[in-house]
Amino acid sequence: MTAHRTTIHILGLGAMGTVLAVDLLRFTNALVVPLFRSQERLAQFQEANGNKTSIRKIYLEGSPLLSYPIERCECPESFSKKPIDNLVVTTKTYQTKEALAPYLPYINENTNLILIQNGLGVLELLREEIFTDSKDRPHLFQGVISHGVYQDNAGVFNHAGWAGMKIARLPWTDEDMIQKKIIVKQDLANNSLVKLLMEPKFAKEFGMEHSTYQEMLSGQLFKFLVNACINPVTAILDCVNGEMKDSCGPIFRSIIDECLQILRMAYKPLFGYREKFGGNDEYPDMNINEVLTTDNMVSEVTRIGCDVNAKNSSSMRQDSLFLRDIEIEFINGYVVRLASKLNLDPNSSKVNKTIQEMASLRLALNRSRKINGDWRSN
Ligand SMILES: NC(=O)C1=CN([C@@H]2O[C@H](COP(=O)(O)OP(=O)(O)OC[C@H]3O[C@@H](n4cnc5c(N)ncnc54)[C@H](OP(=O)(O)O)[C@@H]3O)[C@@H](O)[C@H]2O)C=CC1
Ligand SMILES: CC(C)(CO)C(=O)C(=O)O
């Protein structure tokens, strides 16, 4: 009898899709099926990569290049038209809605869908614009990934920083934000996507941690603060993460301080968790207020962004250099929208609004130089 194989579709075989796909192929027997945006893009992948997915692990001795064959690729034109069991979304945040569109008829209440993306705001998008009917919406999960991967000029994906990934079941309503520990046990025992991602060998090599939503959310806000600093500032300055290590403290402090003031209001149940659930064994012990402080986060953002991922070119800098749209609306722009949603004074999000405008200006300048030339060389 052949061993059961879990099928996992990956929507977005870019830096994050690739780093996940390679390790799934290395350490599990899953059928990994990338979903490309078009037949043309699928053909380009097959022609350029010989139907293999590859990544260079530059944080390892000798920077080994790992390549694995892809058994099946699909796109909207060639899709099997069968219900999707497990779907990973590793597109950029602003690409999510358009990328999901062709596959919505095949996503149902039995589908597991995990978002592996930076930033915040996609959950609201899925709730309010995509899966509006509670009867056929999928099981939703979030992955907060801190690995650093960039694609070099030769088109090779480089895994620059190993830093693991946290996953949790997402709540479809805010009332379900705080989860009991039993939810984690039940998903580990019964959910095919969680079982695959938590297979011991894969989980160890990829640094997977499975937790309740509130535990993951504290990690997601932690990572959000990393991205709110590293991504736009490296894009604006056009620098590699580690270059600014000795001088980035003041700007990181300004960004983080403002973010935390707004996030504490928007995620009150999380910041008041210890008072309400502390000592109750049905819930995990957690004190976010010890971690998400301005002083601690300035040092942690610098450590993760400029030490662990020193050699990485942030995903936003890469987008800006390659003239692609940037995710600023789901990072610093999300803080500005949150302040407005909370009816706060516009000055309460001035730092993030300025960072959002500067990052957008940098992208516009890069695009202008492509068309009009670089005036600095005149
Ligand atoms: N890179 C990094 O170091 C890290 C990135 N992240 C986050 O992970 C997420 C993904 O980032 P990253 O992997 O860097 O992004 P990439 O741009 O490398 O990958 C995005 C992929 O999605 C594909 N895509 C876009 N639209 C569609 C579509 N309609 N159908 C199918 N595929 C589509 C793109 O394909 P195409 O080539 O056709 O456009 C591309 O391969 C982002 O939120 C990012 O912030 C988090 C941690 C670290
Ligand atoms: C961790 C970090 C900051 C690595 O650069 C990242 O998340 C990104 O580039 O998007």
What ipTM was predicted for this assembly? 0.96
CB–CB of 165/208 below 8 Å? yes
Q: Is 92 in the pocket of ligand 1 (CB under 6 A)?
A: yes
- Distance between CA atoms of 72 and 31, rounded to whole angstroms? 8
Residue 176 C-alpha from the chain's centroid: 22
Report which ligand 2 atom has the smallest distance to the Cα of 150. 9
Distance from the alpha carbon of residue 18 to the mean position of ligand 1, in angstroms: 9
Residues 6 or more apart whose Cβ sits within 8 Å of residue 276? 269
Atom 33, ligand 1: residue with shortest CA distance: 12
Strand partners, 112: 86, 139
pTM: 0.92
The Å distance, Cα 16 to ligand 1 centre, comes to 7
Lookup: tokens for 167: 């996953």
Instruction: Specify the pLDDT at position 1.
Output: 63
234, 321 contact by CB (below 8 A): no
Spell out which residues line ligand 2, taking CB within 6 angstroms: 118, 146, 148, 226-227, 230-231, 241, 305, 309, 312, 314-315
**Nearest-5° angle of CA 99, CA 16, CA 182?**
90
Contact 149, 15 (CB under 8 A): yes
Residue in 195, 223, 276, 341 annotated catalytic:
223
CA-to-CA distance for 313 and 328, rounded, in angstroms? 16
Q: Where are the beta strands (DSSP E) in the chain?
A: 7-11, 31-35, 52-57, 65-69, 86-89, 112-116, 139-145, 148-151, 157-161, 165-169, 208-210
Residue 148 Cα: closest atom of ligand 1: 3
Residue nearest to atom 25 of ligand 1 (CA): 91
* DSSP secondary structure letters along 293-349: -HHHHHHHHHIIIIIITTTPPPHHHHHHHTT----GGGTHHHHHHHHHHTT--GGGG
Q: What is the pLDDT of residue 161?
A: 83
Measured CA to CA, the distance from residue 32 to residue 53 in angstroms comes to 11
Atom of ligand 1 nearest to the CA of 16: 13
Can you give the pLDDT of all 378 residues of the chain as single tens digits? 667 799 999 999 999 999 999 999 999 999 999 999 999 999 999 999 889 999 999 999 999 999 999 999 999 999 999 999 999 999 999 999 999 999 999 999 999 999 999 999 999 999 999 999 888 899 999 999 988 888 888 889 999 888 899 999 999 988 888 999 999 999 999 999 999 999 999 999 999 999 999 999 999 999 999 999 999 999 999 999 999 999 999 999 999 999 999 999 999 999 999 999 999 999 999 989 999 999 999 999 999 999 988 988 898 998 999 999 999 999 999 999 999 999 999 999 999 999 999 999 999 999 999 999 999 988
Q: Other C-beta atoms within 10 Å of 355: how many? A: 28
Does any ligand 1 atom lie closer than 6 A to the CB of residue 37? yes
Residue 101 vs residues 140, 172, 195, 222: alpha-carbon distances, Å: 16, 19, 27, 30
pLDDT reported for residue 250: 98
CA 304 vs. chain centroid, Å, equals 15
What was the pLDDT predicted at 140? Answer: 97
* Gap between the Cα atoms of 213 and 270, Å rounded: 10
223 is known as an active-site residue: yes
Asked whether 41 lines ligand 1 (CB < 6 A), one says yes
Position 89 scores a pLDDT of 98
